[in-house]
Amino acid sequence: MKKVLVITREYPGRGGGIAVPLLRYLPTHGCKPYIVTNRVAAASSITRDEEFGEASIEVHRTTCLNRSPFAVLSKYFHMSKTAELLESIFFIPDLYVTCLPSALVAGMNLIRRERIDTVLTISPPESTHLIGLLLSKLAKVRWLADFEDLWTTRKIIYQPPTVLHDQLIKKMERLFYRKADHLIANTYGNREVYINDFHIPESKISVIHGGYDPKDMAAIQSRYHIRNTEFNIGYMGQFDKPGYPWKELLLALKKLVTMVGNDMVRLNIYGYVSRAAMRFINENNLDDNAIWHGIFPHGEAFRMTSDNDILLVTQTEAGYSRSIVPCKVYHYLAMGRRILTIAEKDGELASIVRRTNTGEVVSARTDDGIFNSLKKHYEEWKNSGQLRYAPDCDEIKKYDLSEIAGKLSEIIKSR
C-alpha cells in the first residue's frame, strides 16, 4: 500500500464535493489515505472507515474554530454581510486557518509514524494548501494540491474586503501554484486556466474529473419509479448561489404554472435556500409550486431527487464558468433521469450533458429559453407519461468514482 496524507475540511463529506468521496475508493487501487480534517462523522478524534477491511482509512480530527466569532452578528442582529466582511478581514485566507497548528502537529506525527512521503490537499477552503505547503517544507514530502474550481479566478465568489487583502491572497495563490509539486484540475478548462493565466507547465498538471458513487446508482436502479401525478422538477444542493439564474428559473416556472394550472407543476428543492429566495418565491405566489423540502444527508437527498421527472442544474454564466462543472451533475448522471441544464452552451458542463446524451442545455440569457424548455418537457410528460431517456452508458461510466480513483492513485504513486 502506498500511503498518502490528505488534508481536507471534512470527511466523508455531505455530498457537495467529489474529491472526498473519491478517497474511499483509493484503497482498492493500492493507496491508503490518512485523513486530517476538521469535521468527521465520528465523535472521537481518531476513527476508521472500515468499509475496505484491512485497508481501512484512518481519520484524525483537528482543533479549530467551527464558527466565525462574528456569527453572533448574523444570529442576533441580522447583520450577515457585516459578519462576512469582518471574517474576511481577520482570517486570511479563510476561517480554516485556525486549524493550522493542530493540523501541522497531526500531519507531522502521521508522516513520521507511517513514513508517508506524499501529501494531498483539497480545497475549498484554501487554508488546506497553506497546511500542505508547510508540511512539504518541514517534513520534506511531495505535495499534491487540488483546488477544485480554482480560487481568485471565480470573480463572483472571490470578493476580498480590501485591495491589500486582494494582493496578499493573490500572492499566496501564486506561491501555492509554484511550490506544489503537482496540481490536480477537475476539468480540462481549469487546466487551461492554470497553463494560460498562471503559466504553470503542462507536465505539472493532471485532470481528475468529478464523478458519482456507483453505490448511489445501484441503490436507485433497485427501486421502482412510480409516475407522478404532477410534473416534478428536482433540484439538489444550494439553490441560489451567487450569480445563479434562480430568479429567471422561478419566473419561467411561474409562466408555466399560469399556462397549465397550479396543481400540475412542482419544483422540489433538496438543499439550502436563502431567505431572499424564499421571499421571492412568496412574492410571486409560487409557494405551492416551488417547494423547499429541507437540507438532508447526501444519500437521502439523492434518493428523493431521483424520484422527480426531470433534474435541474443551474450555473453562473460568466467567462470563468465555462470551465466549471457543478458536482450535482455527476450525481444526476447516476439517477437515470433527464437533465435540464441552465448554463453556458459552450462550456464543459454543457459538453458533459451532450456527450452522455442525458438532457438539454439552455441559456438564461435567451428570451423565454428556460420557459420554452420547461413547456416542451411538460408537454412530453403530459402526452407520453414519461420523458424519453436514452443515455450513452459507456460515456456515463467514465464518471464512476471507483474508476476515477485509479487515475488519482497513479498520480499519488508516481515520483
In order of start, what are the domains of the chain with their CATH numbers? 2-64+95-210+401-413 (3.40.50.2000), 214-397 (3.40.50.2000)
Strands 231-236 and 310-314, how do they pair? parallel
Q: What is the mean pLDDT of residues 161-176?
A: 95
pTM recorded for the entire structure: 0.87
153 or 49: whose pLDDT is higher?
153
Q: Beta partners for 12? A: none
Q: Is the pLDDT of residue 330 over 50?
A: yes
Q: Is the pLDDT of residue 226 over 90?
A: no
Instruction: Report helix angle 214-221 to 298-305, nearest 10.
Output: 40
Cα–Cα distance for residue pair 59/5, rounded to 1 Å: 10
pLDDT at 88: 82
CA-to-CA dists, residue 191 to 117, 126, 327, angstroms? 25, 18, 17
Q: What is the mean pLDDT of residues 212-229?
A: 72
Q: pLDDT category, 43, cuts 50, 70, 90?
A: very low
Per-residue pLDDT tens over the stretch 262-303: 999 999 999 999 999 999 999 999 999 999 999 988 888 888
- For the chain, the distance separating the N- and C-terminal CA atoms, rounded to the nearest angstrom, is 15
**What is the DSSP secondary-structure string of 232-273?**
EEEEES-S--TT--HHHHHHHHHHHHHHH-TTSEEEEEES--
pLDDT at 370: 96
Q: Is the pLDDT of residue 144 over 90?
A: yes
